[in-house]
Amino acid sequence: GDANGNNRLDPAETWTYSATHTVTLADLDAGHYANTATATGTTVVGVIAPAEDSANVIGLQNPELTLAKAADRSEYVAPGEIINYTLTVTNSGNVTVTNITLTDPNATTMTCTGAPFTLVPGASASCTATHTVTLDDIFNGTIVNTAAATGTAPSTAPVDTISNEVTI
């Protein structure tokens, strides 16, 4: 922008600067990135007041959880048998999800050490669950089971998902 190369911003002259910012998880979790640029300078009579301008760039939040459920067996034969499940919740979105809890309506017991979970994008946490085979399970011939995960997005909106269906 320095048209005559004198290293001075002359009247009617415009200097253009550019800058870049690498988006961070904190920016996405906040839902925007605000930036203020300030120009300062001096004249022959002294320092002039700084000039500022701001830009606010909106971050598109995509909160998402996935939940995978797996059993340690594919069949059962008698009441009282224990079926062990592993449930793995993964943050498959682009923002941090907090207060993640898992539920399994068919579980006799469920252990989620460290829950409620906070997961950054790409992170996972696991829980274990057991089901004690009942006489009704024997009569029904199958046990069909799903689990659910619920958390909170940075916008405080709920984030929910259901696991794959496990049939034994």
- Judge if pTM exceeds 0.85: no
> Got the DSSP string for 21-89?
----HHHHHHTEEEEEEEE--EETTEEPPPEEEEEEEE------EEEEEEES-S---STT-EEEEEEEE
pLDDT in tens, the chain (168 residues): 688 888 888 888 888 888 899 999 999 999 999 999 998 988 888 888 999 999 999 999 999 999 999 999 999 989 999 999 999 999 999 999 999 999 999 999 999 999 999 999 999 999 999 999 999 999 988 998 899 999 999 998 999 999 988 888
Separate counts of helices (H) and strands (E) for the chain = 2, 14
